[in-house]
Amino acid sequence: MKPVVIVGSGLAGVTVAREFRKLDSGTPLVIVTRDAGSVYSKPMLSNALAGGRSAGALATADAAALAAQIKGEVVAGREIASIDTAARSLRFADGGALDYGQLVLALGADPIRFAIDGDGADAVLTVNDLADYASFRAAIEAAGHITILGGGLIGCEFANDLLASSRRVAVVDPAAWPLSRLLPEAIGQAFRERVAAAGVDFRFGVTAARIDRSSRYGNGSTVSDHSLTVALSNGEIIATDAVLSAIGLAPRTSLAKAAGLTVKRGIVVDRQLRTSEAGIFALGDCAEVCGNVLPYVMPLMNAARALAKTLAGQPTDVVYPAMPVVVKTPAAPLTVCPPAIGAAGQWQTAQADGDSLEATFIGEGGQMLGFALLNVAPARRQALTKELPPLLA
């Protein structure tokens, strides 16, 4: 019997494997991963510093333990070079092949790369997996000041975490307020004020033009106490010890595209997570489900449970209820449940109790389609979530 093969050992791949094994104890199951196969929660990478948690402490199981959990095999440290859809076989970059009966692509996403001038451009850090986090921890061990490129969700979470670890932080973003793709301006600006009051130096409406090593300026320079300088598009200079890029993620689609699968923003799948090629499925950060690319935990978990049933012979449509995102910024507690992309309507903002703010997105028909809550009690979040329509019923 050919195995169910899952490519990717992140939360998506591991959850599918675990859920599938609950339903099917006999079919061979293989996880293939290019990393070490350690099990960890990726969302924890952006708030582990303040707690002093190392990469090793974040891992809950190694590849051998994972293999035992799923009663299958974990092939770690090997890259997939291509998919032979006709033969239902994977070709490894280092040689050899692996046949599959059903294939699940849980490939994740890569940090968006950008070209920037300066002799310090190669020092820009990214954190997208456990190995990245270990490298990041080592790189900033002696850093007193960190500059973050990107004021979205991940950038703001890292900024809060770095503050809590007693470092100074600057955040650079071309938008006018943080989390601008998710938040209305009123909530975004209030969030900015509170996080800035905690110590983050926000620089909005600008981009990083170049990054240089401070030695370029010579001894006696006002930046000589820091290892890097970030020149902004408005001419300002930030003296810093490390630069973290958090400008966004791009779904990993090259493997699927090369195999002839339909790809748009992500790997295109239907409600049963089926790609355009029979026997191949996709979920998580790499997948585009009915037009939605949702790099969050709740959509991933819903998709994994539905896909496990389909793989086990019970075709199941994925259902997406309203799924609020709790942003990990204790300096300014924030929850957002944005409306669907392209939804017609407008934001309405009101003062809640005390220093709390509440914004609701009201559609043209008068129905609430999304919300954003700043420093609002969880009970209110739960109440509003119940009023929202499902994203995919």
* Cα 29 to Cα 71: distance, rounded to the nearest angstrom: 8
Check residue 141 and report its DSSP letter: T
Which of helix, strand or coil describes residue 309? Answer: helix
Per-residue pLDDT at 372 exceeds 70: yes
* Cα 243 to Cα 19: distance, rounded to the nearest angstrom: 39
Q: Which fold has domain 333-387?
A: Enolase-like; domain 1 (3.30.390)
State whether the Cα torsion 131-137-138-140 is positive or negative: positive
* Cα 57 to Cα 51: distance, rounded to the nearest angstrom: 11
Mean pLDDT, range 1-25, rounded to an integer:
97
Local confidence band at 355 (pLDDT 50, 70, 90 cut-offs):
confident
* Cα 15 to Cα 302: distance, rounded to the nearest angstrom: 10
Where in the chain are the domains?
A: 4-109+249-311, 121-245, 333-387
* Cα 359 to Cα 362: distance, rounded to the nearest angstrom: 10
DSSP H helices, 114-270, are: 130-139, 153-164, 185-198, 254-258
Both tokens of 256, joined, read 């699927």
Taking phi over 0 as left and psi of -120 to 50 as alpha, with beta for the rest, 362 belongs to beta
Check residue 221 and report its DSSP letter: -
The answer to whether domain 4-109+249-311 and domain 121-245 are alike in fold is: yes
Q: What pairing do the DSSP bridges indicate for beta strands 102-105 and 242-245?
A: unpaired
* Cα 170 to Cα 147: distance, rounded to the nearest angstrom: 5
Identify the CA nearest to 203 among candidates 161, 175, 181.
175
Please calculate the CA angle 180-184-187 and round it to the nearest 5 degrees: 100
Local confidence band at 221 (pLDDT 50, 70, 90 cut-offs):
very low
* Cα 14 to Cα 106: distance, rounded to the nearest angstrom: 9
Tell me if 152 sits within 8 A of 317, measured CB to CB.
no
- What are the backbone angles phi and psi of residue 195, rounded to the nearest 5°? -70, -35
Mean pLDDT, range 326-336, rounded to an integer:
96
pLDDT at 252: 98
Which of helix, strand or coil describes residue 263? Answer: strand
Domain 121-245 listed as CATH 3.30.460.20: no
Model confidence pLDDT, tens digit, residues 139-164: 999 999 999 999 999 999 999 999 99
Which of helix, strand or coil describes residue 120? Answer: coil
Taking phi over 0 as left and psi of -120 to 50 as alpha, with beta for the rest, 80 belongs to beta
pLDDT above 70 covers a percentage of the chain that reads 97
pLDDT at 220: 44
pLDDT at 215: 59
Identify the CA nearest to 31 among candidates 50, 52, 4.
4
Tell me if 73 sits within 8 A of 30, measured CB to CB.
yes
> What is the second-level CATH architecture of the domain 4-109+249-311?
3-Layer(bba) Sandwich (3.50)
pLDDT at 370: 97
Q: Which residue has the tokens 């590849």?
A: 63
Per-residue pLDDT at 243 exceeds 60: yes
Local confidence band at 219 (pLDDT 50, 70, 90 cut-offs):
very low
Model confidence pLDDT, tens digit, residues 27-39: 999 999 999 999 9
CA distances from 180 to 29, 154, 372 (A): 42, 13, 12
Model confidence pLDDT, tens digit, residues 63-117: 999 999 999 999 999 999 999 999 999 999 999 999 999 999 999 999 998 899 9
Q: Output the average pLDDT for the chain.
A: 94
Per-residue pLDDT at 129 exceeds 70: yes
Per-residue pLDDT at 222 exceeds 60: no
